[in-house]
Amino acid sequence: MTITQLPSTHEGERSPFPTGDLCRPSGFGPDIDVSGLVDTAHGLVDRSVFTDRRLYAQEQARVFATSWLFLGHVEQLQKAGDFFTTYMGEDPIIVTKDKSGRIRAFLNSCRHRGARVLRADYGTARAFTCTYHGWSYDLEGALISVPNEDGYRAETWDRADWGLLEVAQLDTVLGLIFATWSPSAPPLLDQLGDMKWYMEAFLDRDSEGTTIVGGITKWVLKGNWKLAAEQFGTDWYHVNMSHASALMVLSPTGKGPKSDIVNTPGRQYSDDRGNGTGFPTHPKSRFDAQPVHEYYDYAALRGRLGSARVEGPLTTGHATVFPNFSYLPVNGSVRVWHPKGPDEMEVWAWTVLDKSMPEEVRTAQRLYNLRTFGPSGIFEQDDGENWSEIQAISHGWRTNTVPLNYQMGLGSEREDGVHPGSTSELYSDAAGRRFYARWAELMNTPAWHEQLEEKT
Partner 1 sequence: MAEGVLVGRIDDIPEGEAIKVDAAVAGTIDDIAVFNDDGEFFALDDTCSHEKASLSEGWIDNGVIECPLHAGKFCLRDGTVQSMPATEDVACHRIVVDGADLRLIPNPDRLAP
User: Smallest Cα–Cα separation from 242: which of 375, 336, 381?
Assistant: 381
The reply on whether position 145 binds partner 1 by CB under 8 A is yes
* Smaller CB separation from partner 1, 131 or 251: 131
Using the contact rule CB under 8 A, the part of the chain among 108-116, 143-151, 221-229, 272-280 near partner 1 is 143-151
Closest contact distance (angstroms) between CB of 97 and partner 1 is: 16
Sign for the CA dihedral angle at 214, 216, 221, 227 comes to positive
* Smaller CB separation from partner 1, 135 or 295: 135
- 48, 60, 136, 356: residue in contact with partner 1 (rule CB under 8 A): 136
Give the strand pairing for 91-97 and 103-107.
antiparallel
User: Smallest Cα–Cα separation from 197: which of 6, 418, 357, 355?
Assistant: 418
Closest contact distance (angstroms) between CB of 142 and partner 1 is: 13
* Smaller CB separation from partner 1, 146 or 404: 146
* Smaller CB separation from partner 1, 129 or 444: 129
- 54, 99, 126, 218: residue in contact with partner 1 (rule CB under 8 A): 126
CA dihedral 390, 396, 402, 408 (to 10 degrees): 0
CA distance linking residue 216 with residue 75, whole number of Å: 12
Which residues, listed in sequence order, are joined to residue 136 by a DSSP beta bridge?
129, 145
CA distance linking residue 260 with residue 249, whole number of Å: 17
Using the contact rule CB under 8 A, the part of the chain among 124-132, 214-222, 290-298, 337-345 near partner 1 is 124-132
Closest contact distance (angstroms) between CB of 93 and partner 1 is: 22
CA distance linking residue 301 with residue 314, whole number of Å: 9
- 114, 147, 257, 403: residue in contact with partner 1 (rule CB under 8 A): 147
Round the CA-based radius of gyration of the chain to a whole number and report it: 23
Distance of CA 381 to the CA centre of its chain: 20
- 48, 60, 129, 307: residue in contact with partner 1 (rule CB under 8 A): 129
User: Smallest Cα–Cα separation from 278: which of 365, 201, 367, 178?
Assistant: 201
- 18, 114, 123, 134: residue in contact with partner 1 (rule CB under 8 A): 134
Closest contact distance (angstroms) between CB of 158 and partner 1 is: 17
The reply on whether position 113 binds partner 1 by CB under 8 A is no
What Å distances lie between residue 425 and 45, 182, 320, 373, 406, CA to CA? 21, 34, 17, 25, 14
Closest contact distance (angstroms) between CB of 86 and partner 1 is: 24
Where does residue 33 fall: left (phi above 0), alpha (psi -120 to 50 degrees), or beta otherwise? beta
CA dihedral 445, 448, 452, 455 (to 10 degrees): 50
* Smaller CB separation from partner 1, 53 or 99: 99
Closest contact distance (angstroms) between CB of 148 and partner 1 is: 9
Using the contact rule CB under 8 A, the part of the chain among 56-64, 144-152, 364-372, 375-383 near partner 1 is 144-152
* Smaller CB separation from partner 1, 26 or 148: 148
- 127, 262, 300, 392: residue in contact with partner 1 (rule CB under 8 A): 127
Using the contact rule CB under 8 A, the part of the chain among 87-95, 145-153, 272-280, 356-364 near partner 1 is 145-153
- List phi, psi (to 5°) of 185: -65, 135
Using the contact rule CB under 8 A, the part of the chain among 102-110, 127-135, 308-316, 433-441 near partner 1 is 127-135
Q: Binders of partner 1: how many residues, by CB under 8 A?
A: 9
- 6, 144, 367, 378: residue in contact with partner 1 (rule CB under 8 A): 144
CA distance linking residue 85 with residue 123, whole number of Å: 9
Which residues neighbour 130 within 8 Å (Cβ) at sequence distance 6 or greater? 110, 112, 115, 117, 136
Q: Which residues of the chain form contacts with partner 1 (CB under 8 A)?
A: 126-127, 129, 134, 136, 144-147
